[in-house]
Amino acid sequence: MAPEGPPPGDAPRRGPAHEMTGAFIAGPGGRPRPVPRPSAAPSRTRRIGAHRGRIAAAAAAAVVAGALLALAAGTGAASPVLRPVGRFLDFYCGVFALVALSLTVMIGLLATDRAILASRHRLRAQAVHRATAFLAVAMLAVHITSQLAEHRVGIAQALLPLPGPHAADYDIGVIALYLLLLAVAGGVARGRFAGSKHPWAWRATHLTAYAAWPLGIWHGLTSGRAPAVWVTAGYLLCVAGVALALAARPVLRPRERRTP
């Protein structure tokens, strides 16, 4: 009887196969090895990073332009055409900053909804949340610059909680400023926190926005000139909106059912 097995001429090689042959791709056992394909994740990550970089650059440019305009209007260096714009920014930027911060808190709370919003809708809500946060920081920078230009406060009083006349009102605004900057910085560095050994650090820094918001409301209502009726009404609407978003959060984000 003829011996079983392949003929001597067709015996498989025992040594390593050449890279350009089919045996190299098939590998031991005759099963083809999966050929690695270039992943699209890095390019997508680069696109997202470049997009965020452009948004951050545009926000920084807007902050610098607004601050320079407020400074020029406050010091009298601006042309007569731009002075009304400077006065408008001086009068309303603090209000705009608080409204933008209130919208940031409300949209941030609603962006966690999993009961109504789909995944793509949550991503869009998070994008709006980041945009309003940058807007709040921009308006706050212009507000501080205009106060410095009008010599209402000094640099030390604008950046440090110091004792003095109206110190309680101004110091609350300074504390709210640093809490807001900490929350925004935590949001920008969220990816780094997610890949670290302490991912909870991002949530801890981001939650400072909940403390910055009521302090900002207090600062806006008690410092400087007496607020107009419509300003007080707007602040109360912001408080009601945030309270409603907080009350709706447990309903919009139900607990996941435990599977046995």
Residue 101 forms part of a structural domain: yes
Q: How confident is the model at residue 260 (pLDDT cuts 50, 70, 90)?
A: very low
What's the mean pLDDT when you consider all of the chain? 72
Residue 4 forms part of a structural domain: no
Residue with tokens 């031991």: 28
Q: How confident is the model at residue 73 (pLDDT cuts 50, 70, 90)?
A: low
Q: How confident is the model at residue 188 (pLDDT cuts 50, 70, 90)?
A: confident
The number of C-alpha atoms within 13 Å of 237 and in the hemisphere containing its C-beta is 11
Residue 32 forms part of a structural domain: no
- Whether 19 shows a pLDDT value over 50: the answer reads no
| pLDDT for the residue numbered 26 | 45
Its domain, for residue 85, covers 54-252
- Whether 32 shows a pLDDT value over 60: the answer reads no
* Residues 19-29, mean pLDDT to the nearest whole number: 45
Indicate the pTM of the whole model.
Answer: 0.65
The secondary structure of the chain, three-state, reads CCCCCCCHHHCCCCCCCCCCCHHHHHCHHHCCCCCCCCCCHHHHHHHHHHHHHHHHHHHHHHHHHHHHHHHHHHHCCCCCCCHHHHHHHHHHHHHHHHHHHHHHHHHHHHCCCCCCCCHHHHHHHHHHHHHHHHHHHHHHHHHHHHHHHCCCCCHHHHHCCCCCCCHHHHHHHHHHHHHHHHHHHHHHCHHHHHCCCCCHHHHHHHCHHHHHHHHHHHHHHHCCCCCCHHHHHHHHHHHHHHHHHHHHHHHHCCCCCCCC
Residue 247 forms part of a structural domain: yes
Handedness of CA 103, 106, 109, 112 (dihedral sign): negative
Lowest mean pLDDT among 64-78, 121-135, 157-171, 196-210: 64-78
Residue 69 forms part of a structural domain: yes
| Contact in structure between 202 and 190 (CB atoms under 8 Å) | yes
Of 207, 224, 69, residue with least CA distance to 141: 69
More confident residue, 50 or 19: 50
Residue 5 forms part of a structural domain: no
Tally the domains of the chain: 1
Of 96, 85, 200, residue with least CA distance to 141: 96
* Residues 84-102, mean pLDDT to the nearest whole number: 82
Residue 258 forms part of a structural domain: no
